[in-house]
Amino acid sequence: MKYKVSHTTSYRYEVGVTFCHNIATIKPKNMLGQTVLSYNLNVTPSPTEISERLDFFGNTVTRFSIQKHHSVLTVTANSIIEKDSSLQPNIYNSPGGQNITLQESLLALQNINSELLDIRQFILESILVAGITPEIKAYAEVSFKPNRSVFEAAHELMQRIYTDFEFNTKVTNVATPIKEVFEKKKGVCQDFAQIAIACVRSVGLPARYVSGYIETLPPPGKEKLVGTDASHAWFSVYIPEFGWVDFDPTNNQIPKNQHIVIAYGRDYYDVPPLKGVIYSTGMNKMKVAVDIRPADE
C-alpha cells in the first residue's frame, strides 16, 4: 500500500515576527513495514538555517530558523510512504507473546541487557505522564492481573478506553494533566494514548507514545476531501518474548496499514510535530491540514 502524505502547518502572525527558531518532528520513520520512498520539507519564507538530526529516541528532528521579518509561516512535509504491515512480526503468530502474563513479564524485565535498558526507560513517569494516581492504577488493574496475559489485558484496556472515554476536541489541550483527563473521561487521541500509557506504566510495564497519521476513508460514495485527515497518536506496549505492540484506543484497533508512524517518545512532550520560539509581540493563528491518499502506482 502506497500513500502520498502532505502535512501543512501554517501560522499567521498579527504583527509579524522578526525571526524565529523552530523544531519539527514530522518526518515519517523508515522501519520494517514502513518505507519512506520520498520526503521533503518545505518552509516559507525559506529558512536561513536548517539542519536535521536524530533525537534521543531515534526520531528525525528538523531544526530551522528564519531571520527575516515575516507574517506567515508555512511548514509543509510531503512524503510518499509504502506500508506493508505483513512484514512486521505479528503477535497472533507468537504464542509466547500472546500468553506471557504480567507476573512473568515483570520478571523478564528485571534482566540487565542493553536492549532492555532502552526499553525500561518507558516504565518510568515522564513529563506529561506524571503523578499517576491510585485511581488510574485501579482502572489499569481491572484489566492487568498477575496471571493474565499482558497482550489480552492491553487489548482490553484499549477497548475500555474506547468505550469509557468520549472523543471531544473542546475539553483538553496539550498541557491538560492526565489526572484531569481521567476525571472528565473526555479528550482527543493524544489524551487517550497518554491515559493508556499511564495505566500500563502503573502496573510496571513499558509503554510509549506513538505520533503519526491515520488514513480516514470518505463515507461510501463520497469523494474524499483534501486535508480531512489528521495528526494522530496512539500507544505501544512492550511485551517480553515478542516486542512492541501498538494499540489505537481512539479507533479501537491494532494499527496496520492505515497508520503511519512518525516518532516514538515517552509522551507528547518528546515529539510535538512543530514547536518554536518567535520574536514578536502579537498573537498568532494556527492552521493544520493533513492529507493522506493512496499514491498512484
Phi, psi of 266 (to 5 degrees): -75, -35
Q: Does 281 bind another protein (CB under 8 A)?
A: yes
User: 209-238: which residues touch another protein (CB under 8 A)?
Assistant: none
Residue 129 DSSP code: S
CB of 95 to another protein, least distance (A): 30
- From the list 89-97, 150-158, 253-261, 267-275, the region that binds another protein by CB under 8 A is 267-275
CB 7 within 8 A of CB 292: no
Counting contacts by CB under 8 A, is residue 46 touching another protein? Answer: no
Phi/psi-derived region of residue 93, left when phi > 0, alpha when psi is between -120 and 50, beta in every other case: alpha
Using an 8 Å Cβ cutoff, are 58 and 23 in contact? Answer: no
Secondary structure letter of residue 241 according to DSSP: T
Under the criterion CB under 8 A, does residue 108 sit at the interface with another protein?
A: no
What is the Cα–Cα distance from 90 to 87, expressed in whole angstroms?
Answer: 9
SS3 label, residue 94: coil
203 near another protein, judged by CB under 8 A: no
Element (H, E) at 180: helix 178-184
Among 3, 22, 101, 290, binds another protein (CB under 8 A): 22
Task: Please tell me whether residue 1 binds another protein under the rule CB under 8 A.
Answer: no
Considering only residues 128, 157, 188, 205, which one is a binding residue for another protein as defined by CB under 8 A?
128
Which residues of this protein are in contact with another protein, per CB under 8 A?
Answer: 11, 18-23, 48-49, 51, 55-57, 63, 65, 67, 112, 114, 117, 120-121, 124-125, 127-128, 130, 132, 134, 137, 173-175, 269-270, 272, 274-281, 284, 286
